[in-house]
Chains A and B, each alone.
Chain A
């Protein structure tokens, strides 16, 4: 489970791409995302995906983005299968599945190269309500804590004879119940304590809280943003005007 979910979890890195302003990284990911949407042919999407993976490789995040693709491959197959079942059109079914992969890689690239701190900054830039930003922050903050809780509960239940690795899928899912119930209970208790601590530290005292750190876009960030926009324009132009319509 941890292996699968790690595709969307940040790990600090020192590459050039990691150090770009988070807002610019978001712009890059959105542009790649849009490219995958507007591409009309599978080979065009393949170009986009190859480009994203190239950036991921430069950011030393290729494996983690790859993991996300592996994690979501079931959905890709499902999208292809359902489309093919309904339309009986191989071409469009592959296109939709490929588009999904394109969306996944471009989104994943943003998440694996952006720290939660930076994400919070991006959310603040968009003037999202403080409560929503804070809910996001605590959710991410407590992921490792909850995972530790879950492992402790698993150990405790295993030591009392719970067998989690045996039986068919149904039985294994059912054996998760004695783990999930205490996990939910401890999380509820924890959230109560969090609420007390928030109140005690003046949460919500003023409508516009200040911030200890401030991110400023550097010249290099602006260059990247402009380059990304130019590249996007060029790509869109190529997709619709230059590149030949090529089916499968």
Chain B
């Protein structure tokens, strides 16, 4: 069975640029995985995401080599309309992906475009509103929503199309800490209830340590690290690539060097506290 996402030897250079935005990149994501993609700004994360949902090369042309396959189908050979039903894309700024005057009509936007019959559309819109917990907002206008609500509504519009793979491009960058962690909880729930695969670009790794199956680090268009959150965050290289290793994890590493804690997984603050309180601890 093909993986949900297979990227093989992908290189892409924008026409106006001399440097490749993505260079000889490979990645395999299995169905139902939550993969976090990290790396400094300008490292090619956004281009990679756009190559997965087809905006590259269908909307942005350039020097393209290698192959990207989603659920076994080549992105390059599949047109945007079909890709839109397999890959959902939540953009950084929710404001710019809400088109209609009311929440429910916006959630229906993708389905209207696909020509889904009205009764089925109604059911799918209601389901998406329920899954994202935005049913009470169904009749609101976009300008009456908070940023967190807008992000949820935008995600509801993506989920209503029932994509197998959902891409989130820095989904929490405009959210306050509480709303951001709620969004992460939502991602975990959607994976559990729908079996959706997630590819998430995020700088605030502390939020995602608990739910991510894998972390991939990019630098200058290449993949430099790929492993479990523990592999990446407890290793020595991540910080060198500008990855924001959570401070609790840095503490865990420091304590491990002193021999005060052991273990090969990333601990939460509570786990770390319990570990150092035990016999042999501080």
Using a CB–CB cutoff of 8 Å, the interface residues on chain A facing chain B are 115-117, 120, 134, 137-138, 140-141, 144-145, 190, 193-206, 208-214
Contact = CB atoms under 8 A, between A and B. Distances in A.
Contact of B81 (A138, A144, A194, A202): A202
Nearest to A196: B55
Nearest to A130: B113
Nearest to A211: B112
Contacts of B59: 195-196, 199
Contacts of B117: 210
Given A141-B100, A194-B96, A203 B113 contact: yes
Main secondary structure of the interface of B (DSSP, over half): helix
A205 B96 contact: no
Contacts of B161: 201-202
B189 interface: no
15 contacts: A141-B99, A141-B142, A145-B95, A193-B93, A198-B99, A199-B58, A199-B84, A200-B53, A202-B85, A202-B110, A202-B161, A206-B113, A206-B114, A209-B114, A210-B117
A144 B161 CA distance: 28
A196 B91 contact: yes
Nearest to B94: A197
A117 B112 contact: no
B6 interface: no
B73 interface: no
Contact of B113 (A138, A202, A213): A202
B248 interface: no
A197 B91 contact: yes
Contact of A201 (B54, B84, B115, B142): B84
Given A141-B142, A144-B143, A200-B91, 19 more contacts: A117-B101, A117-B102, A137-B100, A140-B101, A141-B101, A196-B55, A197-B91, A198-B99, A199-B54, A199-B58, A200-B55, A200-B87, A201-B84, A201-B110, A210-B117, A211-B118, A212-B105, A212-B112, A214-B118
Nearest to B95: A145
Nearest to B118: A210
A210 B121 contact: yes
A162 B96 CA distance: 29
B20 to A, nearest CB: 21
Of the candidates B95, B117, B121, the one having the most CB atoms from chain A within 10 angstroms of its own CB is B95
- Chain B interface residue bracket vs A: 35 or more
Interface string B36-76: 00000000000000100111001100000000000000000
B108 interface: yes
Nearest to B91: A197
Contacts of A200: 53, 55, 80, 84, 87-89, 91, 97
A199 B60 CA distance: 12
B125 interface: yes
Contacts of A190: 96
B168 to A, nearest CB: 12
Interface in B157-187: 157-158, 161
Given A145-B143, A196-B91, A209 B105 contact: no
Contacts of A116: 101
A141 B97 CA distance: 11
A162 to B, nearest CB: 25
B122 interface: yes
Contacts of A212: 104-105, 108, 111-112, 118, 121-122, 125
Contacts of B104: 212
Contacts of B54: 199
B114 to A, nearest CB: 5
Contacts of B12: none
B139 to A, nearest CB: 10
Contacts of A197: 89, 91, 96-97, 99
A115 B101 contact: yes
B240 to A, nearest CB: 32
